[in-house]
């Protein structure tokens, strides 16, 4: 009979003077077989769990891609419907794919000579309770258009086919001084509209549009 045993599985450890018994060998083999089977089962279970998780992530990615495609088609339908109804033309439509605390809507490539009216629609997706401000960059100056932060906004410019005309228009919602917009610079000097979230960031799916009317 074995005098000593291993620490973890209590397998027999014989001294030189111990009598070796067949039953002890059989008991050791049974313990080893059980431990190996438990280890194999654990590996199989973990592999199955990993494969199931990978399949779940793949399904989720496919669902998100499908959802984005459906949303884009819905957006395109909305754009076409609005263009047909209002007799306007979409100049640019930017949709955020990732969150951003600040966003710049490019105005430098707008051909103001081609439009009587240009409407800017700002439709950000914000965290609950958050708002934003916007600034108009005109080279060396960047006036803040909003008196107070807002959750959505519309700006209407009136170039009347003259990019060198003085900037005039309206913005909604207006502040305590009204919503008229009159600047000394010309439309051709406008570089971008800077949008800055107050507490959070603009979320994916935020939409910023430029519409032209002739």
Give per-residue pLDDT as tens, 180-213. Answer: 889 999 999 999 999 999 988 999 999 999 999 9
pLDDT tens, 144-160?
888 788 898 999 999 99
Cα separation of the two ends of the chain: 103
Q: Which tops the pLDDT comparison, 22 or 72?
A: 22
In this prediction, residue 48 carries a pLDDT of: 81
In this prediction, residue 94 carries a pLDDT of: 93
Pairwise CA distance, residues 196 & 162, whole Å: 29
The encoded tokens of residue 66 equal 């499908």
C-beta separation of 211 from 94 below 8 A: no
Q: Per-residue pLDDT averaged across 87-112, rounded?
A: 92
In this prediction, residue 53 carries a pLDDT of: 80
Mapped onto helix, strand or coil, the DSSP state of residue 32 is: helix
In this prediction, residue 196 carries a pLDDT of: 93
C-beta separation of 190 from 137 below 8 A: yes
Do β-strands 12-13 and 117-123 pair in parallel, antiparallel, or remain unpaired? unpaired
Stretch among 32-41, 60-69, 81-90 having the lowest mean pLDDT: 60-69
Residue 72 pLDDT > 60, yes or no? Answer: no
In this prediction, residue 127 carries a pLDDT of: 86
In this prediction, residue 74 carries a pLDDT of: 56
In this prediction, residue 86 carries a pLDDT of: 60
Torsion angles phi and psi, residue 5, rounded to 5: -140, 155
Q: Which tops the pLDDT comparison, 56 or 95?
A: 95
Residue 9 pLDDT > 80, yes or no? Answer: no
CA distances from 63 to 60, 67, 71, 179 (A): 5, 6, 12, 43
Label residue 83 by pLDDT band (50, 70, 90): low
Domains of the chain (ranges plus CATH)? 1-87 (no CATH), 89-213 (2.60.120)
List alpha helices for the chain, DSSP H.
22-86
Sign of CA dihedral 139, 145, 148, 152: negative
CA distances from 213 to 47, 80, 157, 158, 161 (A): 60, 15, 10, 10, 10
C-beta separation of 197 from 126 below 8 A: yes
Label residue 50 by pLDDT band (50, 70, 90): confident
Pairwise CA distance, residues 110 & 125, whole Å: 25
Q: Which residues contact 68 (CB under 8 A, 6 or more apart)?
A: none
Give me the chain's average pLDDT, please: 83
């Amino acid at each position: 009979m074995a005098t000593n045993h291993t620490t973890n599985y209590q397998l027999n450890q014989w001294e030189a003077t111990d009598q070796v018994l067949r039953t002890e060998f059989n008991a050791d083999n049974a313990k080893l077989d059980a431990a190996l089977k438990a280890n194999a089962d654990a590996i199989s279970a973990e592999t199955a769990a990993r494969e199931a998780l990978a399949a779940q992530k793949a399904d989720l990615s496919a669902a998100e891609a499908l959802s984005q495609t459906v949303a884009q088609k819905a957006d395109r339908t909305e754009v076409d419907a609005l263009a047909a109804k209002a007799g306007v033309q979409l100049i640019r439509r930017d949709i955020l794919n990732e969150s951003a605390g600040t966003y710049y809507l490019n105005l430098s490539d707008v051909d103001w000579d081609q439009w009587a009216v240009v409407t800017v629609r700002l439709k950000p997706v914000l965290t609950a309770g958050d708002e934003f401000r916007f600034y108009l960059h005109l080279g060396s100056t960047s006036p803040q258009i909003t008196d107070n932060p807002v959750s959505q906004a519309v700006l209407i410019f009136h170039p009347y086919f003259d990019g060198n005309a003085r900037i005039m228009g309206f913005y909604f919602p207006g502040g305590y001084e009204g919503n008229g917009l009159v600047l000394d610079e010309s439309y051709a000097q406008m570089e971008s509209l800077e949008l800055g979230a107050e507490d959070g960031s603009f979320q994916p799916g935020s939409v910023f549009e430029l519409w032209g009317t002739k």
